[in-house]
Structure 1
Amino acid sequence: MLLPAALACGAVVFPGLFYSFRKVLRQTFTNWTDADVVSVSERLVSAIHASLATAAGVRVVAACRDVMTDNHWLTNGFALFGAPYMAQDIYAMYLSHYHTQRVKGQSSSHSFHTVKAFLKRDWMLVLHHLALLLIFMPVTLFFRRGLGDFFIGCFFITEFSTPFVSIGKILIQLGLDDTRLHRINGIIVLLSFFTCRILLFPFMYLMYGRQFGIPLHKVAFHLPLHCNMGNLLILAPQIYWFILLLKKANRLYLRQKRGKGEGGKDRPKMD
């Protein structure tokens, strides 16, 4: 009874939050376009889901002494609770793209062309969400035979960096992208993303090896091929996104450096 209730709860909570944020933001920021409202609403819901996922992951990991056989009810419960978010967020991303195109005068209605342009631009994020919904959730619920709750909890913790990514985009929307707060948040994004989306993988191998007395560099050879391949498929886009974050941070740093240099030239010399 708990699992269907978790799914139903997620199907109400995340679309409800998205609708509520849109309504409140539209009334609060009357000068914002529909694209602004939808974009920020999407980011707020994303931050809430990621915070809940991280909290669930920490609870599961802390409760599992045996990385293979220990169980916690939150593992399957949150997998089902979070599933509707994946579908809702794909819709929210599309809606954000649609309204942005309308503001630019490039689209006036929902059409196959609009959907195609959205999928072309955000195909990796859409694929990521669909993989979590259609592969990760069934594996979690049906195919792992109750083993590895610890590792599922670790995968939940990968969402830790998402609220900071969302905060960064919201700060840009509010015109605060040239502030110290935005720079500090950017540093937190890089550190949290690298720690919880990349270093987390060798950490999982380390914990498995520690339990069974296997050196870290030999753990991969003791695991089934499909486990290593699955981890590699999840890790690869994380590395790609981290590289994009580094490039964005570098562009921001160079832009601010140029701004300071130009400001220095305009400043009158002191005798």
Structure 2
Amino acid sequence: METTVAKGRQRAVAAVLAVSNVASLLTALNVVSDLRPEDKITIKRGCALTLLGLVYFTTLFELLNTLALSSSLRHKYRLSCGDVLDVNNKLVSAVQALFCCVTGAVVLGWSCARDVVHASHFVSEGYAWFGAAYFFYDIWSMYMVHVNMVLGDVKDKSRKPKNGALAAAPAKLSPTFFQYCKHEPVILFHHLFIGGFGFLVIVYLRGGLGDCVFGFVYLMELSTPFVSFRGILSRLKLKATRAYVLNGVLMLLTFLFCRVLSLPYVCYMYSKVIGLSYFETIQSLPTGCKVSIFILLLPQLYWFYLMSAGAVKVFRGPQEKRS
């Protein structure tokens, strides 16, 4: 009887989350449905989009958690609670990346075809407002994953016999948010930079510049689904499969072209427009612009190095085993 009641409550919670999730997305689309391509997003519309974005990403994460924690797949792959939250965090990240890619495609198709420097489309600002919520939601989501991972590790250790008896678990198990910040400083800085300063650049600080450049920035997220699926396959203990290797190759290629080489290519496009050489163009950029590019590009180079090193280990592994 108690099991039936629990399942009924679970279904009710999942239904409420699903309705809230779909309603928030449809409402966000309705907020911008009457705009023309050249229109600007007002602060009132923008705030509404940010609130709807926060509802959308949070309810999607909680919906996936509600469904996955009671799924047979969790037991099939022996996933802990932390593993489930981590997988769902990555799924939400992939969904956000797809939204970014759609936005980037619209912007490139409209703005770059008209005027590389000045043409704009409202979807660029619109998703800046909506998507900014993701980066702040994701900080909370990653913290929840970290907490459950730590708690799971501590519980596992406490179950292991020590001198014939179970070890006592520490009284304070859950890490604080500040401890988590020390644990993941790079990704946190990246989220705050993109969600805060990046948002301000697209919405307020760009001056009279158009959206073509930001279309390439949005398309940087094309590699994110492959990064997410790599982590998911790892959690499912499917590293030895062809799917993992193929996904890794696609991840490296999309990361290289969309994150490492895209910004230098944008500078090349701009050099053709203003009629200067590549290095003269970079020198002519405002200091704030050059600093922003450096801050945005540096973590990509670091992550690409880590991915490449991991790929080398994967490909060397089978060869070392054969020898």
Return the offset for 1:110: 6.8
Identical aligned residues as a percent: 31
User: Take 2:172 and 2:218, find their aligned partners in 1: how far apart are those partners?
Assistant: 37
Residues 30 and 237 (structure 1), Cα distance of their counterparts in 2 relative to 1, 3 Å cut: closer
Question: Residues 120-148 of structure 1, C-alpha deviation per residue, up to 9 Å, x if partnerless?
Answer: 22110011001112211112111223423
Return the offset for 1:30: 4.2
Q: Which residue of the partner structure matches residue 34 of structure 1?
A: 81
Return the offset for 1:247: 1.0
Are positions 1:136 and 2:204 aligned together? no
User: Take 1:56 and 1:172, find their aligned partners in 2: how far apart are those partners?
Assistant: 29
User: Take 2:85 and 2:277, find their aligned partners in 1: how far apart are those partners?
Assistant: 48
Structure with the greater alpha carbon radius of gyration: 2
2:266 pairs with 204, 219, 226, which one?
A: 204
Return the offset for 1:212: 1.7
Are positions 1:149 and 2:149 aligned together? no
Look up the SS of the partner of 2:237 in the other structure. coil
**Deviating more after overlay: 65-74 vs 115-124:** 115-124
User: Take 1:70 and 1:159, find their aligned partners in 2: how far apart are those partners?
Assistant: 22
Question: Relative contact order (alpha carbons < 8 A, sep ≥ 6): 1 or 2 greater?
Answer: 1
Q: Given residue 62 of structure 1, which amino acid in structure 2 is its aligned partner?
A: G
Are positions 1:21 and 2:58 aligned together? no
Residues 108 and 219 (structure 1), Cα distance of their counterparts in 2 relative to 1, 3 Å cut: farther
RMSD: 1.8
1:7 pairs with 35, 50, 57, which one?
A: 50
Q: Is the 8 A contact 1:71 1:146 kept in 2?
A: no
Return the offset for 1:99: 0.7
Are positions 1:186 and 2:186 aligned together? no
Question: Residues 47-83 of structure 1, C-alpha deviation per residue, up to 9 Å, x if partnerless?
Answer: 0001110110121022113122101001110001101
Return the offset for 1:260: 3.7
**Deviating more after overlay: 117-126 vs 191-200:** 117-126
**Deviating more after overlay: 13-22 vs 220-229:** 220-229
* Aligned 1:218-229 pairs, distance under 5 A: 218-229=280-291
Residues 204 and 108 (structure 1), Cα distance of their counterparts in 2 relative to 1, 3 Å cut: farther
- TM-score between both structures, scaled by the size of structure 1: 0.90
Q: Is the 8 A contact 1:44 1:166 kept in 2?
A: yes
Where do 4+ consecutive residues of structure 1 move more than 4 Å? Answer: 106-111
Are positions 1:254 and 2:297 aligned together? no
Question: Residues 206-225 of structure 1, C-alpha deviation per residue, up to 9 Å, x if partnerless?
Answer: 11111122222321122112
Q: Which residue of the partner structure matches residue 160 of structure 1?
A: 222
